[in-house]
Copies of this chain bind each other. A is one copy, B any other.
């Protein structure tokens, strides 16, 4: 099943993909839907009883960031063996975690604008969306709590990321992490069996990883995180990026004004984001 947050005319709504388009669900977006305890039941009722006039044709729907209001967006760095090695590090015993905000997220086709950095880099990632509250959960509980999967690009301001020991400030620029275009439920996608994560820049493939090579699986990440903080429906966990980021290239390569960034996970969909660099070597100092 593919769930989405769509704009149709002047309204936004949670929706489920059906033949011919999207069937609206009784919530303004997937954050709100997932916050309803009986959300799976609501989806079942809608899909089993709809008639074709209810369906919004695909051409009339704009796909938005599926979960605009997560209380927690937690990201794992260094989770693909190949990316870890290109960054010159050892395979980790524990997941490296940092946080973003709901404000950091943006729509699957949004422009990504930078005014304060000229070192924007790409990080194609599989993102997990939580469907059930998790606290001190084991991996089986965590696996069962996954609402679905979506695509993310953890676009990073490498200059800000390396200003201090903590990456956070280079990872939390408003509206720089596109998410979407839909959330695919676990019955349709199995990252442990292997899902491709692909990033292309102006048509050139720069990243292609497979979630089979994740050091920490989705369920393991959720279980680990739930040891220290409660995860709730709609929270988002980014699972890390495979090799091929610009910072790892020789010479290093960063996004330029007008670049077209495409982030694809077959079985979910593609993010298509144009980069806008507004700054003229005016990197902000304090």
* A residues neighboring B (CB under 8 Å): 71-72, 77-78, 92-99, 101-104, 115-116, 135-136, 157, 160, 163-169, 172-174, 216, 220, 223-224, 227-230, 284-286
Pairwise interchain contact A95-B286, C-beta atoms closer than 8 A:
yes
Task: Please determine whether B164 and A229 come into contact, CB atoms closer than 8 angstroms.
Answer: no
Taking a contact as CB atoms closer than 8 A, the residue among B72, B163, B172 that contacts A93 in the complex is B163
Residue with the greatest number of chain B CB neighbours at <10 A, chosen from A95, A97, A104: A97
Q: How far is the CA of A72 from the CA of B172 in the complex (A)?
A: 11
- Cβ of A164 and Cβ of B116 under 8 Å apart? no
Residues of B within 8 A of A97 (CB): 164, 166, 168-169
Query: What are 18 contact pairs spanning A and B, CB under 8 A?
Result: A71-B101, A71-B102, A72-B101, A94-B163, A94-B164, A94-B169, A96-B166, A97-B169, A98-B98, A99-B99, A99-B101, A99-B168, A104-B229, A166-B166, A166-B168, A168-B168, A169-B228, A227-B284
Residue pair B228, A95 in contact (C-beta under 8 Å): no
Interfacial chain B residues near A99, Cβ < 8 Å: 98-99, 101, 168, 172
Complex interface: chain B residues within 8 A of A223 (CB): 286
Contact B228 A173 (CB under 8 A): yes
